[in-house]
Amino acid sequence: MKTMIKSISKFGRHIFTLAIIMLFTSINLFAQGNGAPIDFQANFLTFTSFVLVVPIVVEFIKRILPKDTSSIAIQIVSWITGVALAMLAWVFNLGFFAEIVIWWEALAVGIGASLVANGIFDTGLITWLLSLVGIKTEKSLT
């Protein structure tokens, strides 16, 4: 039994090494661009793209938290992260937040994004509720 576990772990190491080599090869292939800067405002063009940013940032924050953090605490951190990102995007006038004038509208968008990112509501429902209040959730192309 022990020899079987050792052989599986050796095989796993070989697969892991192969995966790392493929990863570095693909990174080098994608890095051959024309050197254009990254457009961070593309993440804030619509409400849907903003909702996609929230879980990514939460995952980075979860790595900082201790391993024994309760799930309720992680949910609270997730909700606060969505609101904080919305308020920062509003302050820096990123994407559709540039068209939001009043702070409470940005707060409402942040709460809605947090609810959608946590799987409580659907993007279409939150977008509809925000449109009822008069909050635009897409950047106008003009």
Q: What is the pLDDT of residues 90-142, one digit of tens each?
A: 898 888 888 888 888 888 888 888 888 887 777 778 777 877 777 777 766 55
Answer whether 0.85 is exceeded by the pTM.
no
Q: Which residues contact 50 (CB under 8 A, 6 or more apart)?
A: 43, 44, 85, 86, 89, 95, 96, 109, 113
Query: Residue 132 corresponds to which tokens in the numbers above?
Result: 């009822």
Q: Which of helix, strand or coil describes residue 46?
A: strand
Q: What is the pLDDT of residues 45-60, one digit of tens each?
A: 777 888 888 888 888 8
The residues spanned by each domain of the chain are 1-36, 41-133
Give the number of other Cβ atoms within 10 Å of residue 53's Cβ: 18
6: pLDDT strictly greater than 80: no
